[in-house]
Amino acid sequence: MPGSHVILIHNEQEARRVLEEIGVDPGAYPYLLPKASFHCIKLKDISFRGANIIKQEMLSKGGEAAIPRQALNGEGSGDVLLMGTLKHYRLLLRKLKVQPFGLKKVAAEIESILAGLEPKPQTIELPHGKSLKVGERTLIMGILNITPDSFSDGGKYLNPDQAVKRAREMIDEGADIIDIGAASSRPDSVMAGEEEEIQRLLPVMERLVTEDIIISIDTFRGEVARAALENGAQIINDIGSLQLDSQLLPVLVEKQAPVILMHNRMQMRAGEPYRDLIADIIIELEDAIGQAVDAGLPGDKIIIDPGIGFGKTLEENRLLLKRLGDFCSLGKPILIGASRKSFIGQTLGLEVNERLEGSLATVAMAIMNGADIVRVHDVKASKRVAAMTDAVMQENG
C-alpha cells in the first residue's frame, strides 16, 4: 500500500511509541515489545562446546547464532554472533543459566549487554554537594588547557587570569563541565612534574569554585587528584584508566569521586596492534571498571571514554566513532573527545586551527551513536549542534 516503509526501532522505548501511534491495546505490550527490536551480539572466546549449545538453543527459540566452522569438532574456542529479538534472548538466557561449559557466565554477560541497550537517565552524586544529570540531554564539557604545549591551545591560558576568563566564556556559552588540564599528554611534549601540575591548577580552581559549574580535572596522578578534589573539583578525568599511577584509585575511593576512565594504549602498550578494535577496547575498559568497583568505587560513579586519538590509527579512530554505540553494552555514560584531533586533520587535510566543521561533525555523530558527554574546545558551536541533534534523536515517531 502507498506509504508503507521500513521502520528502524532501536529499543523498547521506541517500540512503545510506535505501538501507541498504531493504537495497539496496552495489554498486548508485554508480548509485542520484546519482539520489536532486533539485536546482534558478538560473544568473544566461547568454548566450542558452549558455542554448539548456544547455537542449538538460539535456533530452537527462533533466533540464529553464527559459529566458527571448526566449532563442529568441539575442541578449542572462538567468537559467536547472536542474532535475535529481545524475546529470543530472554528465552535463551533461561536455558543458558542451567548449562555447563561456562554458559552461566555467558548468560550473565548477555543479560548485562541487553540492560545497557535501554536509555537510562541517571544522576551522579558529586563531591561538594553537587550532582550531574546524565542521559536527559547531551552534556558539554569545555576544554581548558593551562599548559604551554597542548596540541590545540598550548600557552594561551597559562596565565591564571586568562584561564579564568576563558572558563567564564565557556560557562556563558553553555558548558556544563569545565575540564582543566595542567599537564599535556601529547606524544612529543615534556610532561609537567606533579608539583608543577598542582601549582598550575590551584590558582585557577580557587577562582572557579564559586561559579555555577562542575569542575573536572584532567589528570592521572593520585596526589594531583587529591589536591584538586580537596580544593573544589568534582570529577577526575583519567587518561590512563587507572594504569598510569597506582595512587589514583585509593584517592578516588577515599573521596568517592566520579572518574572518567579513558582507554589508552599510547603510554602503556604503544604500537601493540588490535586483534578486534571494539572488543579489545571493551575488554580493557571492563578491566578498569572492575578494578575500580572491587576497590570500593561505586559503579554509578564511572564514566567511560573509548579514547579517540590515543594509540589508534586514522582508520581506527573513524571506526571507533562509527561504532560508538557498541559501548552502550557496558552500561556506563559515554564521553567522547574528538575535538580538533589529528584524525580530523588527516581526513580533511586541515591544520588544527581549521578543524571546526570536522569537530562539529564528530559531535553530531557521537550523539547519534550514544554519547552522553562531548568534550570540546568550541563550546558555543558544539552546544548548538548538540541541542539540534538531541531534538532530532528525541523526537517521537
**For residue range 210-252, what is the model confidence (pLDDT) as tens digits?**
999 999 999 999 999 999 999 999 999 999 999 999 999 999 9
Residues 95 and 241 both lie in one domain: no
Residues 161 and 180 both lie in one domain: yes
Cell numbers at 355, concatenated:
578543524
Q: Are 274 and 283 in contact (CB under 8 A)?
A: no
Cell numbers at 213, concatenated:
559549574
Among 77, 95, 117, residue at a domain's last position = 117
pLDDT at 153: 61
Burial class of 179 by CB neighbour count within 10 A (0 to 12, 13 to 18, 19+) = buried
Residue 59 lies in a domain: yes
pLDDT at 62: 95
Residue 154 reports pLDDT greater than 80: no
Cell numbers at 36, concatenated:
520489536
Which 8-state DSSP code applies to residue 300? G
**Domain of 64: which CATH number?**
3.30.1370
Q: Which of 237, 24, 47, 215 is nearest to 128 (CA)?
A: 215
Categorise residue 331: left if φ over 0, alpha if ψ from -120 to 50, beta otherwise. left
Residues 137 and 101 both lie in one domain: no
The catalytically annotated residue of 375, 380, 383, 384 is 375
pLDDT at 293: 98
Residue 354 lies in a domain: yes
Residues 110 and 126 both lie in one domain: no
Angle between helices 194-208 and 160-172 (to 10 degrees): 50
Q: Are 373 and 134 in contact (CB under 8 A)?
A: yes
Residues 340 and 240 both lie in one domain: yes
Q: Of 181-195, 290-304, 322-336, 377-391, give the lowest mean pLDDT range.
A: 181-195
Find cell 556563558 and name the residue: 172
Residue 26 lies in a domain: no
Residue 101 lies in a domain: yes
User: What are the Cα distances from residue 66, in Å, to 79, 187, 386?
Assistant: 9, 41, 38
Q: Are 327 and 370 in contact (CB under 8 A)?
A: yes
Question: How does DSSP assign 172-212, residue by residue?
Answer: HTT-SEEEEESS---TTSPPPPHHHHHHHHHHHHHHHTTSS
Give catalytic status of residue 87 as yes or no. no
Find cell 578543524 and name the residue: 355
Residues 193 and 105 both lie in one domain: no
Q: Which of 373, 316, 375, 340 is nearest to 186 (CA)?
A: 340
Residue 287 lies in a domain: yes
Q: What is the mean pLDDT of residues 362-381?
A: 97
Residues 106 and 127 both lie in one domain: no
Q: Of 155-159, 329-333, 340-344, 369-373, give the lowest mean pLDDT range.
A: 155-159
Among 117, 142, 162, residue at a domain's last position = 117
| Mean pLDDT value across the chain | 92
Residue 309 lies in a domain: yes
Residues 93 and 236 both lie in one domain: no
The catalytically annotated residue of 137, 200, 341, 355 is 341
d(CA 251, CA 384): 36
Residue 300 lies in a domain: yes
Q: Are 186 and 149 in contact (CB under 8 A)?
A: yes
Give the count of domains, the chain: 2
Query: By residue range, what is the domain housing residue 42?
Result: 37-117
Residue 9 lies in a domain: no
Cell numbers at 139, concatenated:
552534556
pLDDT at 343: 96
Residues 366 and 262 both lie in one domain: yes
**Domain of 283: which CATH number?**
3.20.20.20
Give catalytic status of residue 341 as yes or no. yes
Q: What is the mean pLDDT of residues 160-183?
A: 95
pLDDT at 394: 86
pLDDT at 294: 98
Burial class of 118 by CB neighbour count within 10 A (0 to 12, 13 to 18, 19+) = middle
Length of the chain: 397
Q: Are 42 and 14 in contact (CB under 8 A)?
A: no
Say how many C-beta atoms besides its own lie within 10 A of residue 231's C-beta. 16
Which 8-state DSSP code applies to residue 307? -
Say how many C-beta atoms besides its own lie within 10 A of residue 384's C-beta. 14
Strand partners, 143: 179
The listed range with the strongest mean pLDDT (110-119, 272-281, 384-393) is: 384-393
Residues of the chain above pLDDT 90, percent: 77
Query: Model confidence over 187-205: pLDDT tens digits?
Result: 666 677 899 999 999 999 9
H helices within the chain, ranges in order?
12-22, 29-36, 48-60, 86-96, 103-117, 160-172, 194-208, 222-230, 248-255, 277-295, 314-322, 342-348, 356-368, 379-393
Query: Model confidence over 249-291: pLDDT tens digits?
Result: 999 999 999 999 999 987 656 668 899 999 999 999 999 999 9
Residues 113 and 211 both lie in one domain: no
Banded pLDDT at 318 (limits 50, 70, 90)? very high
Residues 68 and 130 both lie in one domain: no
Residues 176 and 136 both lie in one domain: yes
Among 85, 117, 149, residue at a domain's last position = 117
pLDDT at 151: 56
